[in-house]
Amino acid sequence: MGCLGLVFYDDKMWLADPASSVRVLEVGPLRATLEIRRRILHSEYVQRISLAHNSPRLDFDTTIDWRERHILLKVAFPADVSVLRSSSFVSVDRPNIVVETIKRAEDGHGLIVRFYESQRRRGPATLTAGFDLAQVWRTNLLEENQVELALEGRSVSLFVEPYEIVTLRLVPVRQ
């Protein structure tokens, strides 16, 4: 099993300019699509955001003319973290762990929680779910189960390396 190498060129962040245009591309009984044109630094991009009938997700199709040098691109969706914390859906006991993704598993079996260590500190971390767990698996980025982790009630403990990305599959107890 190989190890994932992470590249952190710089810790700078730029926000996109306000949209230069927003238009409705498609409105129908099965799908609606918006097209948004924006610029970030010297690069222009177009995002098409679609919502399909009876779908639990938004689809983002992004085309970018990237003209920057020595700058990496990362997509971020701001969220009201206080809402997540107050709901106790999942929590982590270390402030240097950033929970980035909570979603239904692609194969429909459980929830995927993806987090990373953000301050170059290795050590133990405990993730606690706000619901009863049947199993917790450490997976790869493709959500393929790798190692089953030992449960301690609604919690699971694991060791995290500096800047490591961790993906877990939480399988709830069937009610």
| Spatial contact of 134 and 174, defined as CB atoms under 8 Å apart | yes
Kindly state whether residues 85 and 168 are assigned to the same domain.
yes
pLDDT tens for each residue of 122-149: 999 999 998 899 999 999 999 999 999 9
pLDDT tens for each residue of 44-60: 999 999 999 988 888 98
From the DSSP assignment, how many helices (H) and strands (E) are in the chain?
1, 13
Residue with more model confidence, 115 or 81: 115
Domain containing residue 91: CATH number: 2.60.40.2220
Of 75, 90, 119, the last residue of a domain is 75
pTM above 0.85, yes or no: no
Kindly state whether residues 167 and 89 are assigned to the same domain.
yes
Of 40, 55, 75, the last residue of a domain is 75
Kindly state whether residues 36 and 106 are assigned to the same domain.
no
Question: Could you give the strand order of the β-sheet that contains 155-160, starting from the edge strand earlier in sequence?
Answer: 90-92, 123-129, 155-160, 151-152
pLDDT band, residue 175 (cuts 50/70/90): low
Host H or E run for residue 147: strand 145-149
CA-CA distance, 12 to 14, in Å (whole number)? 7
Domain containing residue 18: CATH number: 2.20.25
Of 59, 75, 91, the last residue of a domain is 75
CA-CA distance, 57 to 42, in Å (whole number)? 30
CA-CA distance, 155 to 60, in Å (whole number)? 33
Q: For the chain, how many structural domains are there in total?
A: 2
CA-CA distance, 162 to 96, in Å (whole number)? 10
pLDDT tens for each residue of 87-110: 467 889 888 888 888 888 999 999
Residue 131: the pLDDT is 87
Kindly state whether residues 60 and 90 are assigned to the same domain.
no
Kindly state whether residues 102 and 168 are assigned to the same domain.
yes
